Amino acid sequence: MLKVLLTFIFIRPFISSLAFPYLNSLYSALFLIFLIVWLIYKGISIRKIQPLKYPLTLLCLALIISVVFSIDKLNSLKELYKYISGILLFLIVASLTYENKIRLIRTVILAGFIISLLAIYQYFFGSQHILDYMSKEKITDSFALDYIQRRRAFFPFVTPNILAGYLVMIIPLALIDKNKIWLILPLSFALLLTKSLGALLSCSLALVIYFHLQGKLERKRAVFLFGLLVTFCLVFMARATTQKQHLQPIFSAVMRLNYWKDTLRMIKAKPLTGVGLGNFNLTLSRYAHN
């Protein structure tokens, strides 16, 4: 059963919910069924999850409250399965042996490595194919055209920032296996090709904090981190030169400030129960999305 679990984990990032909604629904249903079967036949280690019983209980309670007081209960029930899958996966992984956890982490890193190669390929070779296709099909979406014309990598996700957010989560995992530290190179290069300023900055700061806490902020690591910060500055200057407002760094920053203001409005409107799971797209609850 472990091999099936690793297979599910491996293929997850290749099925973007925005790019492949029907395939994503099929995957999610099969994955949830598999997790339930695992739970029935193999169970979980109560001892290993004992320290987290209170946070898990509070999370489950919050989910129940969110569904019960939802402004659209049907939407919330449709969304609830994602959280159920996440909780079951957490419980199962927490119950694995140390060796199997390492196998799972390596599976996640392998998927990230392949995705980084796909993103690099898209940057150097695939962008023109996409532009030709959009021209043939007369697709004129300005955001999509700008992403591709400015050669920002995003494949197999739908935006550069989503790919960058994914890579930022994978890069620290790749630091675990010293024998395969070279995997950092394609992952970091793909991150650079997304030209995502938020991802570059957050990755740099997170690694600085991590190495400092570990007492491993050596010269070679400091040089690497300094290189990331220099790259951030170069990307910032390159994006700041564009004439299109929605591509400039300041536009992204202002939008996020607006999202946070809207979040405060949402909290004030329903401070205890919220609007319910899955109700972001309803007119009465269209607030912050990140």
Over residues 40-69, the pLDDT tens digits come to 888 888 888 888 889 999 999 999 998 998
Confidence of residue 26 (pLDDT cuts 50, 70, 90): very high
Confidence band, pLDDT 50/70/90 cuts, at residue 35: very high
Better-scored residue on pLDDT, 91 or 45: 91
Q: Which has the closest alpha carbon to 115: 71, 167, 46?
A: 167
Question: Which pLDDT score is estimated for 283?
Answer: 55
Place of tokens 């890579």: 167
Specify the range with the lowest mean pLDDT, choosing from 66-70, 148-152, 210-214, 250-254. 250-254
3-state SS string for the chain? CHHHHHHHHHHHHHCCCCCCHHHHHHHHHHHHHHHHHHHHHCCCCHHHHHHHHHHHHHHHHHHHHHHHCCCCHHHHHHHHHHHHHHHHHHHHHHCCCHHHHHHHHHHHHHHHHHHHHHHHHHHHHHHHHHHHHHHHCCCCCHHHHHHHHCCCCCCCCCCHHHHHHHHHHHHHHHCCCHHHHHHHHHHHHHHHHHCCHHHHHHHHHHHHHHHHHHCCCCHHHHHHHHHHHHHHHHHHHHHHCCCCHHHCHHHHHHHHHHHHHHHHHHHHHCCCCCCCCCCCCCHHHCCCCC
Cis peptide bond N-terminal to 156, omega within 30: yes
- Taking CA atoms, 81 is separated from 33, 36, 58, 78, in Å, by 11, 12, 17, 6
Q: Which residues of 163-190 are buried (b: 16+ CB within 10 A; e: fewer)?
A: bbbbbbebbeebbeeeeeeebbebbbbb
Would the pLDDT of 143 be above 60?
yes
Give Cβ neighbours of residue 256 (< 8 Å, ≥ 6 apart). 290
Q: Which residues contact 115 (CB under 8 A, 6 or more apart)?
A: 13, 14, 156, 163, 166, 167, 190
Contacts of 177 by beta carbon, 8 Å cutoff, 6+ apart = 106, 109, 183
The residue-averaged pLDDT of 192-220 equals 76
The average confidence (pLDDT) of the chain is 81
Flag whether pLDDT at 8 surpasses 90: yes
Percent of the chain with pLDDT over 70: 82
Mean of pLDDT values over 241-253: 58
Return the pLDDT at 224. Answer: 63
| Token output for 209 | 């904090």
For residue 239, what pLDDT band results from cuts at 50, 70 and 90? low
